[in-house]
Amino acid sequence: MVAGAWFCLLAPLAGALAITLAGERISRRQAGLVSTLTTFAAFGGALVAFVAMWAREGAEREQLSTAYTWLAAGDFEVGLQILVDPLSAVMMLVVSGVGGLIVWYSLGYMAGDDEERRYFAYMSLFVFSMLLLVEAGNLLLLLVGWGLVGLASYLLIGFWHHRPEAVAAAKKAFVMNAIGDATFALGLVLLVWQARTLELPAVLEEADGLSGTIVTLVALGLLGGALAKSAQLPLHTWLPDAMEGPTPVSALIHAATMVTAGVYLLVRAHPIFEAAPDVQHLAAGLGAATLLLAGLVALVQWDIKRVIAYSTMSQIGYMFLAAGIGAYGFAIFHLVTHAFFKALLFLAAGVVIHHLAGEQDIRRMGGLRAALPRTHVAFLVGTAALVGLPPLAGFWSKDAILASALASGGALGWTLFSAGLLGALLTGAYAFRLYYAVFRGPPAEVTPEPHGPEAAHEPAHGEGPLSMLVPVGALTVLSTLGGLLSVPGVWHPFTHWVSETAEALVEPSTGEDYLTSLAAVTLGLAGLWLARRAFVSGRQLVTSPGAWRALEHKLYFDELYDALFYRPAAALAGALRREVEEPVVERSLDELGAGTLELGGGVARVQSGLLRTYALAVALAVFVLVLVFVAVR
Amino acid sequence: MSGPGIGWYLIVAALLFGTGALGVMLRRSPLIVLLSLELMLNAANLTLIAFARQHGSLDGQVFALAVMAVAAAEVAIGLGLIVAMARRGLPLDVDQASSLRG
């Protein structure tokens, strides 16, 4: 079991190193193959670990394996160790499985790019980092993985570094994530101080013994990290811009795996959050707020990838909501199904972009159903799964979350439930708006000139090579069937599996489940109907110009942060430069230099080269010294 | 211990030293400067030997020998330089030889 997990962790690292060290000795295609094969090898390792775990029972399924002690300070030790338990096994399977499919897809998608080797090395690095994050056996190692996925995300968002927008987006993602990383690290410092360990099962058991203030601060710190990584309010502004990266990167990092790391953290560290219920409820509230906000903004976006990015934020909002009310199994379940259907949507969108030679604006798309029949089916399945139409994956997982919110009751439960239902309506509207705009209606003219960020790709590929079609097909199947792992009233193998690591706090009854499903599906279909009506009549979903403008500006969050943080900081820096740096620091240094030069010029005049002057000076000096000695005595 | 007292020796040495110092400071010919330097060194030697005799110790005399060795070396180099200057047709005047450039 442990061997499989170690293999799973190290295979992508080996791939990244091999591609980096081989350099130009292997062809670009071979680099892609190395990356794909090592990622699938990692999936094999994860499967081995999973099957071995399946055969065991209860506490036997959880195992901590230490390779060596990395840091030791007194009785505080941090090792290079991995924790293999049901939760990390699920994450390993998702990360390496979906990751493998997406890297494979990249073989076709990135063909012809100038720097494929760099791309695949980064992708392998990302898969390794993400596996390190989910397998980490202590919170410090988790933070290492947390930082490394941020780095890989930065590198891949800015992959097309000749585009200023891509570089700016990469920087923005890095800075926003750095805020979260900092609060995360501060939380860990508090834990080291108070709990005296970071080892994973142990530190969580300590959570109850900590004082209320400390545990609240620790939970806030971890929540800050989770909010930044998962692009939730108020640290969400980086994710839409991150769409500047290649589409498979958006699928892997900014939809399926990295952005859900925050949910994983909430579930993994659930005892800490349970000891600080206010923070946990805050997480649920922020999730609900994000899912509404992202759903609203998605209604007016024109960029195909940005719409999907906002839907990702919205769906992660559902996961935060679930983790916040203690429905951990359903949070992870939605994470998994979301990884399937959101990766599918991105990859299908990638086929569309590929076909249109880099076009991303849905106003210039339309009627692609005829040209891309298979992609059309895949995209439709992904959209329906996103909206939560039965029997697709999203239906089972999202409705279970809403039912849990209903079951948790109270004012909070009802608020979250209503927000989630409203979110279902919004999801139906924006998802089908996108579908109709891209695939229905009269065929749009294919732009003759390649343009946009992905312009490197040659136009009119049809549906692309086999390496693109097969992963899309596999994800279509997974998005269709993935939800059957947990059917209310019938069986719950998935949630039972996860509950061994994180016991759920709420358990919806079967009645609540079906009631919720009825409401959510009705609202989802209502959203579909709205989108269809708007499409047929040629109007937009948001008709009020004021609301449109506000949503187009993403509710002014960027402008707000600009005014709140950037401008004051820039003004302060400018003032310091003008008032302190220039007059005090620079001037004093200039004066020092000029003074030294002047002094040197004066002293140099003494060195005349006249021997007799020197002799006179020596004689006079001796005379003075003699006088001094005599006088002192 | 016979002969003049230590004071006389010191007076002679002081006079010799003063003569040498004045020669170094006032004369411009490098040859004379070198000779004046020798005078100053020998004035020092004289005081060393005088004190050595007064104290009945050989230390001062040994030290005087060392000074002579140094003086001989210095004269060898100094004269060599002066000869080299003369050969290259440079003016034999310390005031004009004020820069290290050739």
More confident of the two residues A49 and A501: A49
- Give the count of beta carbons closer than 10 Å to the beta carbon of residue A429: 27
Q: How far is A616 from chain B (nearest CA, A)?
A: 6
List phi, psi (to 5°) of A66: -105, 125
Type and span of the H or E element at A76 = strand A76-84
In a domain, B75, yes or no: yes
Indicate if the pLDDT at residue A457 is higher than 60: no
Cα–Cα distance, B58 to B13 (Å, whole number): 19
Among partner residues B25, B98, B100, which is closest to A619 by beta-carbon distance? B25
Indicate if the pLDDT at residue A503 is higher than 60: yes
Q: How far is A577 from chain B (nearest CA, A)?
A: 48
In a domain, B19, yes or no: no
- Which among A94, A108, A536, A145 has a CA at the least distance from the CA of A353? A108
Q: How far is A606 from chain B (nearest CA, A)?
A: 12
In a domain, B5, yes or no: no
In a domain, B68, yes or no: yes
In a domain, B4, yes or no: no
Chain-chain contact of A610 with B33 (C-beta, under 8 angstroms): no
Q: Does B33 touch chain A (CB under 8 A)?
A: yes
Indicate if the pLDDT at residue A407 is higher than 60: yes
Among partner residues B24, B33, B98, which is closest to A609 by beta-carbon distance? B98
Chain-chain contact of A610 with B24 (C-beta, under 8 angstroms): no
Retrieve residue A472's tokens: 């899309």
Retrieve residue A312's tokens: 């990702």
CA separation, residue A147 to residues A180, A499, A587 (Å): 10, 28, 41
Q: Which of A66-70, A272-276, A316-320, A624-628 has the lowest mean pLDDT?
A: A66-70
A346, A308 contact by CB (below 8 A): yes
Chain-chain contact of B97 with A611 (C-beta, under 8 angstroms): yes
Among chain B residues, the shortest Cα distance to A612 is held by B25
> What is the three-class DSSP state of A570?
helix
- Maximum CA pair distance of chain A? 114
pLDDT of residue A41: 92
pLDDT of residue A448: 47
**Average confidence (pLDDT) over B77-96:** 87
Residue B54: domain span: 29-94
* Number of domains into which chain B is organized: 1
Tell which B residues from 73 to 92 touch A, by Cβ distance under 8 Å. none
Chain-chain contact of A610 with B98 (C-beta, under 8 angstroms): yes
List A138's β-bridge partners, or say none: A199
Indicate if the pLDDT at residue A465 is higher than 50: yes
**Average confidence (pLDDT) over A107-135:** 87
Chain-chain contact of B21 with A615 (C-beta, under 8 angstroms): yes
Give A612's contacts in chain B (Cβ within 8 Å).
24-26, 28, 94-95
**Average confidence (pLDDT) over A136-141:** 87
Give B95's contacts in chain A (Cβ within 8 Å).
610-612
Per-residue pLDDT band for B80 (boundaries 50, 70, 90) equals: very high
Chain-chain contact of A612 with B26 (C-beta, under 8 angstroms): yes
Among chain B residues, the shortest Cα distance to A611 is held by B94
Among chain A residues, the shortest Cα distance to B33 is held by A612
Reported as a single tens digit per residue, the pLDDT across A328-357 is 888 888 898 999 999 999 988 888 888 887
Q: How far is B24 from chain A (nearest CA, A)?
A: 7
Q: Where are the alpha helices (DSSP H) in A196-276?
A: 200-206, 212-229, 238-241, 247-251, 261-268, 270-275
Chain-chain contact of B25 with A610 (C-beta, under 8 angstroms): no
ipTM score assigned to the predicted complex: 0.79
A9, A50 contact by CB (below 8 A): no
Among partner residues A608, A609, A615, which is closest to B25 by beta-carbon distance? A615
- Which among A477, A435, A528 has a CA at the least distance from the CA of A341? A477
Indicate if the pLDDT at residue B9 is higher than 80: yes
Cα–Cα distance, A338 to A262 (Å, whole number): 14
pLDDT of residue A270: 87
User: What is chain A's mean pLDDT, rounded?
Assistant: 85
**Average confidence (pLDDT) over A137-154:** 90
In a domain, B1, yes or no: no
Retrieve residue A437's tokens: 């705009």
In a domain, B86, yes or no: yes
Reported as a single tens digit per residue, the pLDDT across B43-65 is 999 999 999 988 888 888 999 99
DSSP-assigned letter for residue A112: T
pLDDT of residue A459: 46
Reported as a single tens digit per residue, the pLDDT across A524-583 is 888 888 888 888 887 777 777 777 787 777 778 888 888 888 899 999 999 999 988 888
Among chain A residues, the shortest Cα distance to B17 is held by A619
Reported as a single tens digit per residue, the pLDDT across A195-242 is 787 888 888 888 777 788 888 888 899 999 999 998 888 888 888 888
**Average confidence (pLDDT) over A619-630:** 93
In a domain, B13, yes or no: no
Cα–Cα distance, A293 to A311 (Å, whole number): 10
State the Cα torsion A305-A307-A309-A313 to the nearest 10°. Answer: 180
Type of residue numbered A304 = I
Cα–Cα distance, A350 to A305 (Å, whole number): 9
Per-residue pLDDT band for A453 (boundaries 50, 70, 90) equals: low
List A72's β-bridge partners, or say none: A77
Indicate if the pLDDT at residue A502 is higher than 80: no
Chain-chain contact of A611 with B21 (C-beta, under 8 angstroms): no
Among chain B residues, the shortest Cα distance to A622 is held by B21
